[in-house]
Chain A
Amino acid sequence: MSAAAAVSADDADVPLVQIHDLIMHFPLRGQSLWPWDKPPMVRAVDGIDLTVARNEIVGLAGESGCGKSTVARLLMGLIKPTSGRIHFNGRPIQAYGTHELRPRLQMVFQDPYTSLNPRRPIGRIVGDPLIIHTKLSAADRRDRVVQALERVGLAAYHYDRFPHEFSGGQRQRIAIARALILDPECLVLDEPTSALDVSVQAVILNMILELQQDMQLGCLFITHDLNLMRFLAHRTAVMYLGRIVEIGATEDLFSRPLHPYTRALIDATPQPDPDRAADEVPLEGELPSNINPPPGCRFASRCAKKIDGLCDRVPPRLQSVQGRLVACHLHPAPEATP
């Protein structure tokens, strides 16, 4: 933790993670008749800007296929972007070696049933990063692993057990212990509780929140569940079809959504409140294809507030409106308004 703290002190003004104009297009092979034809491209992420500060949880919300998990994989360096820059502590992630980056940037995956090797005891699963990234002796490693297990609410006697002996919630604790054992500065959480029941989810969310505060982690939290987002994230970014449509402080964004898509998503999220009127569905239709996305505003085809003519044009990039960033024709930047 001391090494991490020293680094953070050096460049405290530089955001922990800085993503600039990130683009990821996947070629869709096997679609065309001729091998020399250019394959169609899936535009999974199409030019996004995002920052994560130290000790901040940034939420990335959106429906499936909007590119939020691709952003996580790009940030982790698991795939190489088509173009764009990702800076970690002010340096591009490509400039880091894996051995430099991994101890500082870790990830918790969605499905705790497939993200743990079923043939290895959990003490080993959690302790592996120590073998790779530190020179600790076996006994010291064991101590660190036990500490890490205790930090997530497991005990020393779990060390030699295998993943199948644990429930989903416990497995997610193991995954979190593994991610945190090297005291990273940044943690990527990709739908960490969507495979869990409500009562277990509550335990895991509380734990994530506590650990984040204790360790001053910068977190990128990805979820489709806006109720979770509102609970956990300090700032929320809403993605639609490869682009971010709105970013703002979570409470502000939820109580006063500016982009029509943000508004529609909030309205569509069921609430445990029998008196809430559920009959109004503002989001008609389905997500357009991200191979041939609509030319103008990507949300225009489903937008209730669409203005013909105006919304057929590409909306401005994220611009500052009323204390947050919005990409929508309906909310022009203040200087643009007469």
Chain B
Amino acid sequence: MNHLLEVQDLRLNFYTYRGVVQALEGVSFHMAPGEAVGLVGETGCGKSVTARAIMGFIEPPGRIEQGRILLDGRDLLQLKDKALRGIRGREISFIFQEPKKALDPTCTVGAQLMEAATVARGLGKRDAEALAMQTLGQVGLGDAGRVMGSYSFELSGGMAQRVMIAMAVVGGSRLMIADEPTSALDVSIQAQILRLLRRIRREQTSSLLLITHDLGVAAENCDRIIVMYAGRIVESGPVRAIFRSPAHPYTERLLRALPAPGKRRLEAIPGTVPDLVAPPPGCRFSNRCDRATPHCSRERPPSSEIGDGHAVACHHPVIAPVSAAA
């Protein structure tokens, strides 16, 4: 199998006054070239931390305890800062949730875009400017000349997010990581930005890791879905399998909790997410799960394949694994 990105057994802790927060515990997944993968889950499940770990954005009190993050077989965690800077923007780019906070308010959009183009592609000033203009056109900012000369605070939220995407595209990276790229935007602008991301992905044949809490956004924009809960991946699989036949009780309950046409009552998930300073030893969903047995709270369920690329980490999945013995 040819993986663009492979995350293996990632473990990440935050050392706080309250104790050690086990934010990620054994997270493993992979992405194929050109694939759009949705990383979904609720607040605090570790989806943003995973994305930041890939980019090397983890700073104290956070620490990566173990695991490997392989980009084309090269372990990013072993790279020095300087080497990592060569990868950011050039091979992996990051789209932030709040573009206005991510863009520098003291320099023009043009200056930032040209800097990105210069650093990532080693272009001269003139070429960088031409590329920046062209990229702005590509992300649907027609009046590129005017946008180049404006500052981030002069742009609307939708325009700023387009600039952010232009910055991610300008280096020609093969993997875009987008952390809630549309959560701060209105639905009509969200639809435009998501359409833009789909188009960019087709044109550049790049992969997209889309982090979102909105299951609708994930369903409509991704090939594969990874569901996280309390620092672990509980289920992953093709988008249809996840939404049509969810195997993990958490995924199933989450889908049932969504308001949808025809529903007269929503099925809430009782209980709360466990405290990650002292998580239960077994399945982290066991305290809220109606299928849980005493065994669940003692032993961590291993991830097992239940179908074509569909894996679930549960002792009592809603759909039985293909080979229960394995």
Which residues of A pack against B, CB within 8 Å?
63-64, 167, 197-203, 205-206, 209, 224, 226-228, 230-232, 254, 264-265, 267-276, 278-279, 281, 283-284, 286-287
- Interface positions, chain B 229-271, Cβ under 8 Å from A, are 239-240, 243-244, 253-255, 257-261, 263, 265-269
Known: A198-B254, A199-B253, A268-B187. A273 touches B219 (CB 8 A): yes
Interfacial chain B residues near A270, Cβ < 8 Å = 190-191, 194, 214, 216-217, 219-220
Q: Which residues of A contact B213 (CB under 8 A)?
A: 197-198
Contact B269 A199 (CB under 8 A): yes
The residue in chain A whose Cβ has the minimal distance to the Cβ of B244 is A274
Please name the residue on chain A nearest to B270 by beta carbon.
A203
Closest CB in chain A relative to B38 CB, distance in Å: 10
**Interface of B with A (CB < 8 Å)?**
42-43, 156, 158-159, 186-192, 194-195, 198, 213-221, 239-240, 243-244, 253-255, 257-261, 263, 265-269, 272
Task: Please give, as numbers and ranges, the residues of chain A lying within 8 Å of B253 by CB-CB distance.
Answer: 199
Q: Quick check: B266 and A271 within 8 Å, CB to CB?
A: no
Contacts of A281 in B (CB 8 A): 191-192, 195
Q: Which 10 A-B pairs have the closest CB atoms?
A: A270-B216, A231-B259, A278-B220, A202-B266, A283-B188, A202-B268, A268-B191, A202-B257, A63-B186, A203-B268
The number of A-B residue pairs with CB atoms under 8 Å apart is 116
Known: A206-B268, A270-B214. 6 other contacts (CB 8 A): A197-B43, A197-B213, A202-B259, A202-B266, A272-B216, A274-B219
Cβ of B185 to closest chain A Cβ, rounded Å: 9
For the residues of B in contact with A, the DSSP-based class is: helix
Query: With A270-B220, A274-B239 in contact, is A254–B261 under 8 Å at CB?
Result: yes
Name the distance in Å between A286's Cβ and chain B's nearest Cβ.
6
Q: Could you tell me if A265 and B217 are in contact, using CB atoms closer than 8 angstroms?
A: no
The smallest C-beta distance from B83 to any residue of chain A, in angstroms, reads: 38
Chain B nearest CB from A31 CB (Å) reads 15
**Is there contact, CB below 8 Å, between B254 and A279?**
no
A63 touches B219 (CB 8 A): no
Contact call B195/A279, Cβ cutoff below 8 A: yes
Within the complex, what minimum Cβ distance (angstroms) separates A285 from chain B? 9
Whether B219 pairs with A268 at a CB distance below 8 angstroms is no
Q: Is the CB of B187 within 8 A of A224?
A: yes
Q: List 10 A-B contacts (CB under 8 A).
A: A198-B213, A199-B269, A202-B257, A227-B258, A267-B191, A270-B191, A270-B216, A270-B217, A272-B255, A279-B198
A73, chain B: closest CB distance, angstroms: 20
Contact between A205 and B220, CB atoms less than 8 A apart: no
Most A Cβ at <10 Å: residue of B215, B259, B260: B259
In the complex where A198-B254, A228-B259 touch, is A271 in contact with B272 (Cβ < 8 A)?
no
Q: How far is the CB of A51 from chain B (nearest CB, A)?
A: 25
Complex-state Cα separation, A272 to B254, whole angstroms: 11
Could you say which residues of chain A place their CB within 8 Å of the CB of B220?
A: 270-271, 273-274, 276, 278
Note all chain A residues with C-beta closer than 8 A to B258: 198, 202, 227, 272
Q: Which residues of chain B are near A271, meaning CB under 8 Å?
A: 216, 219-220, 260
User: How far, in angstroms, from A202 to B259 measured CA to CA in the complex?
Assistant: 8
